Amino acid sequence: MMSPHWNLAMNIEPSSEGLALAHCRQHFLLGPRGPLFPYRLLQAQGLPVLVEHMLGSFDGGPVRLLELESPVEVEGCSWRTLRQLMLESDAKTFQLLGYATQIGTWARQHRFCGSCGAPMMLLPGERAMHCAQCEEQYYPRLSPSMIVLVTRDDEVLLARSPRFAAGVYSTLAGFVEPGESVEQCVMREVREEVGVEVRHLRYIASQSWPFPHSLMLGFHAEYAGGEIVLQPEEIEDARWFSLADLPPLPSKYSIARYLIELYRARRLGFEEPLLPS
Ligand SMILES: NC(=O)c1ccc[n+]([C@@H]2O[C@H](COP(=O)([O-])OP(=O)(O)OC[C@H]3O[C@@H](n4cnc5c(N)ncnc54)[C@H](O)[C@@H]3O)[C@@H](O)[C@H]2O)c1
Ligand SMILES: [Mg+2]
Ligand SMILES: [Zn+2]
């Protein structure tokens, strides 16, 4: 597994040195040299900053996040979605942007207490917002989600959501609901989305996924019965594909791709892929 090149370190000494990202609702400001700007340069733009967070260090220097109220125009720059940047970035930059977008989203959504409505303050030394009235802490939100490759010998069940790029098929995924285990979620989502039953669940690996704040828990599961019935609206198509003839797959940074390539490698005796970090 690849180890991160940047470190979470909130206690970096305040100074106006280092780099910064400008983020607003899963979009990043992009300059001629990418999404990372000298902090001083961004500060000088008079941007509508909602909150500022120290993210950590990246290639040895501090990186801040400026969460903006709106995606204002900046000369010589444009705004790009995190999804576009995923396609254009190297792994460590995507990891930094994924982390930044989760912190920015949480910071934007937790300025006021959800219980009493009072303005909240950042707890010193922690990534948490604090309501003094309720004595309540709000940490960044994470949504556990399962992702599963359903297998039947040398075939795998892949599906398309109407949101996917043309031709792309992927594994099944879904959010864990209150009161259920991840295993129950796998069984339920597979039944709901494609109408089939699975058995012999095997946990493979996990991945932080910043769209918008999922923690993906990845499985392989064996087909146990039933015909494919598509869930209306959610699933546009689902089919069995032979491992020798797979359709276009999702991003190389996705655990979906990893689960498929890992199974193929194990069945066909190829070298196993590396887990995207
Ligand atoms: N990294 C990967 O390889 C990969 C691949 C596929 C999906 N995913 C992610 O898995 C997650 C779940 O997949 P899905 O979209 O198929 O889920 P899903 O099948 O549960 O359906 C999505 C719907 O569930 C509802 N929902 C329930 N709980 C929710 C919550 N906590 N947050 C948001 N919506 C919730 C919403 O109505 C939403 O439209 C998403 O974050 C998606 O981006 C990651
Ligand atoms: Mg789903
Ligand atoms: Zn409160």
Task: Please give the pLDDT value at position 60.
Answer: 81
Tell me the HSE value of 101 on the side-chain side, using a 13 A CA sphere. 25
Whole-angstrom Cα Rg for the chain: 21
pLDDT digits (tens, 9 = 90+) for 240-275: 999 999 999 999 999 999 999 999 999 999 999 999
**Which ligand sits nearest to residue 138's alpha carbon?**
3
Task: Please give the pLDDT value at position 120.
Answer: 97
Q: Which residue has the tokens 């359903």?
A: 150
CB 132 within 8 A of CB 205: no
- Nearest-CA neighbor of 57 among 10, 3, 89? 10
CATH class of 6-109: alpha beta
| Residue 135 CB contacts under 8 Å (≥ 6 apart), including other chains | none
Task: Please give the pLDDT value at position 59.
Answer: 81
pLDDT digits (tens, 9 = 90+) for 196-210: 999 999 999 999 999
pLDDT digits (tens, 9 = 90+) for 80-98: 999 999 999 999 999 999 9
E-assigned strand segments in the chain: 6-7, 19-24, 27-30, 37-38, 49-58, 61-68, 78-81, 121-122, 129-131, 136-138, 143-152, 155-160, 172-175, 197-209, 214-225, 237-242
Tell me the HSE value of 81 on the side-chain side, using a 13 A CA sphere. 6
Q: Do domains 6-109 and 143-268 have the same CATH topology?
A: yes
Q: What is the mean pLDDT of the chain?
A: 94
Domain spans of the chain, in order of start: 6-109, 110-141, 143-268
Running DSSP on this structure, what letter comes out for residue 156? E
**Which ligand sits nearest to residue 146's alpha carbon?**
1
> Which residue's C-alpha comes closest to atom 25 of ligand 1?
175
Q: What is the C-alpha separation between 185 and 198, in angstroms, rounded?
A: 12
Q: What is the C-alpha separation between 4 and 27, in angstroms, rounded?
A: 22
Task: Please give the pLDDT value at position 274.
Answer: 95
Mutate to test the pocket of ligand 1, among 83, 161, 163, 175 (most ligand atoms within 8 A of CB): 175
**How far does CA 247 lie from the centroid of its chain?**
23
Question: How far is ligand 2, taken at its centre, from the CA of residue 178, in Å?
Answer: 16
The CATH topology of domain 143-268 is Nucleoside Triphosphate Pyrophosphohydrolase (3.90.79)
pLDDT digits (tens, 9 = 90+) for 153-198: 999 999 999 999 999 999 999 999 999 999 999 999 999 999 999 9
* ipTM of this complex: 0.96
